[in-house]
Amino acid sequence: MRTMIHVYGIPNCETVKKARAWLAAQGVDHTFHDFKKQGVPTERLDAWLAALGWEALLNRRGTTWRQLDDATRAGVTDAASARALMLAKPSVIRRPVVEWGNAVTAGFDPDDWQGRC
């Protein structure tokens, strides 16, 4: 029996759409947690930060990051400041975050995912 896969993100994000479509095409059952409707689960965020590090989880290439003022961007210097920003603006979290049982990834990489399914 496979471990349930949990996907976290924003449904209108193109990367999340591609990732979910890929999982469906592979016949992989998964749950989806919508950051916009359900918020960011703080206990999960803490686990992701511990597993991946704040630098890997923070999406500095996205629109939300680019729209932040310089002072806010400059203020993100460690896990605590990144965590606070991620809770306030979930769109700065690299998406999708996927829990594969005991492992977690951020972003969509079909080659890596193939080995996990």
Task: Give the residue numbers marked as catalytic.
Answer: 13
**Number of helices (H), then strands (E), in the chain:** 8, 4
Residue with tokens 């349930």: 4
Beta strands in 1-117 (DSSP E): 5-9, 30-34, 97-100, 103-106
Nearest to 51, CA basis, from 102, 8, 115 = 102
Instruction: List the one residue out of 32, 20, 10, 12 whose CA is nearest residue 86.
Output: 10
